[in-house]
Structure 1
């Protein structure tokens, strides 16, 4: 009976012991992760923020205005670039079977020299494919069969969209060398689903570089921004 009591007591205490050990370790790992990103930013002349605010959260899945995490901002390819962590939570099930999932993204924005009407390239979903089959292409179609079958262009001004989405950019989308993107004002944006927070700062140039390619191909006439960082 005494042995059973000891075993039962140990089983009750063990979870608390694990929490006491694991929580400080988790905090230490998170500090180390942020320190690596901050060191990378300092070495490359970029700014580092543990938390940041931005209006573009309403354009993202979840629309979580408090979901921005670590953010770095700096010059790259002659433009000002911001790379941010973003997350939101969703729930499924109900009662005791309810589960919560945290969704993580890397968001990149590139500042252009001047504002533009809203413009975006998105994947063409099943409903969009069905609508295209019934009613034909919208005025924003590029007349490239491969592109228009897979992607759609959402634009406030179809004529402006045709001028901005250059043949070279269409080809890059077909080759899948550039991400989906949206343009609001002078801010070009893309986001990528990831397994968790950014751990390797050496990935930052890769995320930024893909959107910079879009910026360089947009109409092939978008000038470089002034030499001041965005507000």
Structure 2
């Protein structure tokens, strides 16, 4: 009996050590992947930047604990300062027997700097419950002339007039064609995110989508709400993300 217990403990230790080295090797290869990708694009790369975890307020930030920002890419994308990174946080639950379970939530985040600060606006997928159920619980979203768009997306805005000014028919057409991630205007940041860790190809696709969103914001919106003319902005001008 004692021998079997020792064998069990030894197997458990070996499995734990194996899992540790597997995770270490996978993380190392991921760092190398993004470092090489950054070098190809002429961007900067750092393995971690914890300060970014508190820079934005909405999804997926400011929830749970053990916030981690890893594999941080930063630099210009077609003249727009941007940052992209792996983000994760943890949540904890306890069952009826007092056993605590920890879940780690992973996201791929891309952020593009805007020419000026705009009111808050968030566009996400409706999800499995749809708008009718969500609205019944008080989570109302803006409604548009396109029923197809209303069924596919939720749009929340502090200023409804601003929301309708930004989400034009052209913007709806763009998002219906390739609105695969959630995005949000938060001050002078255009934040895009999706669940799961991203890869270099997805980073480029998501940056392209954010740029298309940016280009589809009507010029008068920039003048009326931000006091800027984006056409007068010089590529690469202004502050950059850390």
Provide closer, same or farther for how the CA distance between residues 219 and 15 of structure 1 changes in structure 2, counting only shifts above 3 A: same
Provide closer, same or farther for how the CA distance between residues 175 and 203 of structure 1 changes in structure 2, counting only shifts above 3 A: closer
1:17 maps to which of 14, 18, 31: 14
Mapping 1:1-231, distance limit 5 Å: 8-52=5-49, 53-54=51-52, 55-61=54-60, 63-64=63-64, 66-94=67-95, 95=97, 97-124=99-126, 128-129=131-132, 140-194=142-196, 197-198=197-198, 200-219=199-218, 223=230, 225-226=233-234, 227-228=236-237, 230-231=240-241
Provide closer, same or farther for how the CA distance between residues 37 and 132 of structure 1 changes in structure 2, counting only shifts above 3 A: closer
**Higher mean C-alpha deviation, range 140-149 or range 76-85:** 140-149
SS at match of 1:59: coil
CA distance, structure 1, for counterparts of residue 123 and residue 181 of structure 2? 9
Q: Is the 8 A contact 2:124 2:181 kept in 1?
A: no
- How far apart are 1:50 and its partner, in Å? 1.8
Gaps of 5+ in 2: 223-229
Aligned residues between the structures? 222
Q: Is the 8 A contact 1:110 1:215 kept in 2?
A: no
After TM superposition, the score normalised by the length of structure 1 is 0.78
Provide closer, same or farther for how the CA distance between residues 7 and 143 of structure 1 changes in structure 2, counting only shifts above 3 A: closer
CA distance, structure 2, for counterparts of residue 88 and residue 132 of structure 1? 28
**Higher mean C-alpha deviation, range 177-186 or range 56-65:** 56-65
Aligned twin of 2:225:
none
Structure 1 runs of 4+ with >6 Å offset = none
- How far apart are 1:7 and its partner, in Å? 5.1
